[in-house]
Amino acid sequence: MRIEKLDESTKKNLLEDLLKRSPNSYGKYEESVQQILADVKEKRDAAVFEYTKKFDGVEINASNLEVTEAEINEAYQEVGEELLGIIRRALKNIESYHAKQMQYSWFDSRPDGTILGQKVTALQRVGVYVPGGKAAYPSSVLMNILPAKVAGVDEIIMVTPPGKDGKVTPTTLVAAKEAGADKIYKAGGAQAIGALAYGTESIPKVDKIVGPGNIYVALAKKAVYGHVSIDSIAGPSEILVLADESANPRYVAADLLSQAEHDEMASAILVTTSMELAEKVSAQTDEFIRELSRGEIIQRSLDNYGHILVAETLEDAIDAANEIASEHLEIVTANPFEVMTKIRNAGAIFIGEYSSEPLGDYFAGPNHVLPTNGTAKFFSPLSVDDFIKKSSIISYSRDALEKIHTDIERFAEAEHLTAHANSIRVRFEETR
């Protein structure tokens, strides 16, 4: 991995480099995505079937679009008891963590007859997109469905592309069943996002779409925002390790590569105060790459977006971490909890040398759907909050309104909204 001194110039160049990975930089695909969405909106099921044949090489129709109970039962047989047990243990941790995020309606009443409050309501129907193809991501299934389930969403619709055999990956199906998906459809890509956003004869329109996908999925979600809500526009994965001389270079190198293996657009960054650690980590990554099955992808990722930055002080390192605002931030320093209090921007923060990033991906409980490309400066991880909406409650008695009605009337008149003022005034005509 390349080693550089951290200064304003290297930080600026790094931030510009990382922004190139944003889905907002892939405008050349938008026209194709818009055409797919327009076709789905017009032709509905027919377009979904057409694009599934074109992109996935599978004949899907109204009779085999929805996954059946028989297919789910077959998936359980293929997954086996050991992996099923692991999925269930992870599910329990994720569910327990998200249960603590629950919000409830509240009301505040006063003696004068004023009642103010907030009504919390779960969304009625949510669509979950799960990537398919060669890879299987049962962890993403759990992370996207469980907070919706905990929130109390009435109906959870999952879409995922079928394999060449017309089936859905067994681990994906089992995870979906365990988490509580109500219906699962064999559809992927921008066409599946369109189906969820607009509705077809077979796939119902949803209120919100969540879940990761390729650039076509990301751009489709961006395009349908407004017809439905979405979670975020996810970019490539990223990790930043903030370390001092106390860190174990073997652990740090392993953690950096855990994200670099996702794809060649993934970013792995070490910011450290120790040149000795930097050199050891760089050497260790070379060793690991020779051993790991996805070594070629890792090497391309590191060549493109891998950096080791050596800072003069820990404060400089912390400032850089806050500026980069990484999806995953590991703190491996002598006093990691003290450093954590100075972190303002990060999707998920992993504290100490035994809290490596894959712990959050699979098992600990917090959600692994996180803001990328610096958006941790203003976005949060997926949570129960994403599956609820809030309505304000306002109730005034006559006595309560009478005390303030002239204030409201004058405020409305100041804005030249005389009908607003009149709406209040008519209630007290007899007292004038």
Return the closest-CA partner of residue 236 out of 381, 14, 24. 24
Sign of CA dihedral 47, 51, 52, 54: positive
Q: Dihedral (C-alpha) 231, 232, 235, 241: value to the nearest 10 degrees?
A: -80
Return the closest-CA partner of residue 182 out of 123, 127, 121. 127
Q: Which of 178, 238, 261, 327 is catalytic?
A: 327
Sheet holding 267-272, edge to edge: 3-5, 306-310, 267-272, 238-243, 328-332, 348-351
Q: Which residue has the tokens 């994720």?
A: 94
Q: Residue 313 is inside which H or E element, if any?
A: none
Residue 328 is among the residues annotated as catalytic for this protein: yes
Q: Which of 98, 262, 307, 328 is catalytic?
A: 328
CA 237 to mean position of chain CA atoms:
11
338 CB neighbour count, 10 Å cutoff: 11
Q: Give dist(CA 135, CA 344) in Å, integer.
A: 34
Cβ-in-10-Å burial (0-12, 13-18, 19+) of 288 comes to middle
Sign of CA dihedral 218, 220, 225, 227: negative
Q: Which two tokens stand for residue 62?
A: 């109204």
Phi-psi region for residue 180, left (φ > 0), alpha (ψ -120 to 50) or beta? left
Q: Give dist(CA 207, CA 196) in Å, integer.
A: 9
3-class DSSP state for residue 361? Answer: helix
Give 106's contacts (C-beta < 8 A, 6+ positions apart).
117, 118
Beta carbons of 62 and 201 less than 8 angstroms apart: yes
Q: What is the largest CA-CA distance in the chain?
A: 88
Q: Give the residue numbers annotated as catalytic, written as ranges.
A: 327-328
